Amino acid sequence: MSGEDAPAQQQNAVDQKQETKPAEEPKAEPPKTESAEAAATPAATTEKAPEEETFTYRALVLTGYGGYDKVKLQVKKGKPALKAGEVLVRVKVCGLNFADLMARQGLYDRLPSPPVTPGMECSGVVEAVGEEVTDRKVGDKVMVLNRFGLWQEVAVVPASHTFLIPDGMSFEEAAALPVNYITAYLMLFDFGNLRPNQSVLVHAAAGGVGIAATQLCKTVKDVTVFGTASASKHEAISQGGVTHAIDYRTKDYVEEVRKISPKGLDIILDPLGGSDTHKAYNLLKPMGKLITYGAANMLAGQRKNLIAVAKNWYHQFSIHTLSLIQGNKSVCGFHLGYLDGEMELITEAMNTILDLYKQGKVKPRIDSTWHLEQVGDAMRKMQERNNIGKEILTTEPMPEEEKKEEAKKEDKKEGKKKEDKKKDDKKKDDGKKEEKKDDKKKEEPKKEEKKEEPKKEEEKNEEAKKEEK
């Protein structure tokens, strides 16, 4: 971790043309020679050779583990080669996920070491197809799911990792759908075996997975959804289908659930880890299923917080079979990032989700759309839990005037950065930022929200405005 904290935008403005090294390619193999490439990409051979040479594209690159500024916008040169079974996608919109935040801090082992392009999902248009690809053609609008490497204008992925975008779905929705909905779907319907009349606890109910899970719960008759979120988000999540919204910042969610459902719950989705997993286990009914899918409690501050990590490890839930037997309980772990070998299973889930979309039963909710240059701010908003729904990045170039506005803000941001650093150092000392019930800290996130307001208003993306409440 470097101590240097230059703002991402500033750096990008200064050096947009630096060439990338082959090691920064997100694909598994280094680019082939030009002749080999031409052979591997018949669709591309019809294009002019000079373009091949001058082909450039912008890519976000994680340059090292650390704060929000560690993800930098760079320009890559040379058209990526296509192997058999692969397609080249012109990326329109990328989705942001919690795993990306973990990855930036060096807490997610599915991302190769920096420098590397992060990004697990995107939407775009197929621009070239490799040999042996029969079910995708140039011009297909697709959404893409990959282990990493999708936060760039051009991505090469196996065709099996792409899904056709149905009519009526925007690129924004398509980029917001794969990770959150497949995660929520497999947790609820594969591990959870959700059935009518059951009860489900959804933590972070205003987050991407939370909203997807709530919508999916509502596709089953008479399911009761308990959703945790800060009070300001309660109206939104209630409208989204949450039956009982619980403000985890001011109330003990276990007590609140017990008041309404004394016997406990059928399914608990746990993205928090640590001590919250213990609480979840005790809150299960007989035949109840606890599905843990993250360790958000590990994220405290923008850089890896060793105390938070250690605490999470210390409190990590461990269960003996005898306890499971006597309680008639189930504990499941889920992470889509570790499921990338199971494309058949994922495709099956995706097909069901797309059917539900076509029936109007699920619909991704976009919190806000950001330019690639703004990825740091987007990550910050997500980590500070100020979003309601999905944060997405558009590859559309930032208008010049907006860039100037951003540049002006840099000075202000410099101040903010320093403040952040101070705050982070403080967090390192006490590691308590993410402790939900710590009332003394309740005011802090509100201050953050206010600071973000002006930025939001400067955004020109209509989609984002429509989606925001």
Which residues make up the interface to a second copy (CB under 8 A)?
186, 190-191, 193, 273, 277, 286-287, 289, 292-295, 316-335, 338-339, 341-342, 345
Please say which residue, 198 or 395, places its beta carbon nearer to a second copy: 198
- How buried is 233 (Cβ within 10 angstroms: 0-12 exposed, 13-18 middle, 19+ buried)? buried
Q: Which is nearer to a second copy, 250 or 323 (CB)?
A: 323
Residue 262 beta carbon to a second copy: minimum distance, rounded to whole angstroms = 13
Q: With beta carbons less than 8 A apart as the criterion, state whether 94 and 33 touch.
A: no
CB of 87 to a second copy, least distance (A): 25
Closest CA to 461 of 262, 160, 172, 149: 172
Give the shortest CB-348-to-a second copy separation in angstroms.
10
Supply the minimum distance, in Å, between the C-beta of residue 291 and a second copy.
8
Q: How far is the CB of 179 from a second copy (least distance, A)?
A: 14
| Residue with token string 């942001």 | 96
What span, in angstroms and rounded, lies between the C-alpha atoms of 257 and 284?
A: 11
316 vs 461, which CB is nearer to a second copy? 316
Token match 């919690």: residue? Answer: 98
Shortest distance (Å) from residue 100 CB to a second copy: 17
Q: Residue 9 gets which letter from DSSP?
A: H
**Whole-number minimum distance, CB 251 to a second copy, in Å?**
25
Q: How many CB atoms lie within 10 A of CB 134?
A: 8
CB of 324 to a second copy, least distance (A): 3
Angle, alpha carbons 375-376-381 (nearest 5°): 95
- Give the span between the Cα atoms of 125 and 367, in whole angstroms: 23
Nearer residue to a second copy within complex by CB, 298 or 375: 298
Q: What sign does the dihedral 295-299-303-305 (CA atoms) show?
A: negative
The angle formed by the CA atoms of residues 452, 270 and 193, to the nearest 5 degrees, is: 130
Question: At a CB cut-off of 8 Å and minimum separation 6, what does 425 contact?
Answer: none
Quickly tell me which residue has 């320093």 as its tokens: 418
Closer to a second copy by CB, 294 or 364: give it. Answer: 294
Which CB sits closer to a second copy, 49 or 322? 322
Q: How many residues make up the chain in this entry?
A: 469
Closest to a second copy by CB, 91 vs 309, is 309
Round to whole Å and give the CA distance between 313 and 185.
27
Distance (Å, whole) CA 301 – CA 304: 7
Pick the closer one to a second copy by CB: 243 or 316: 316
* Strand 154-158 to 86-95 pairing: antiparallel
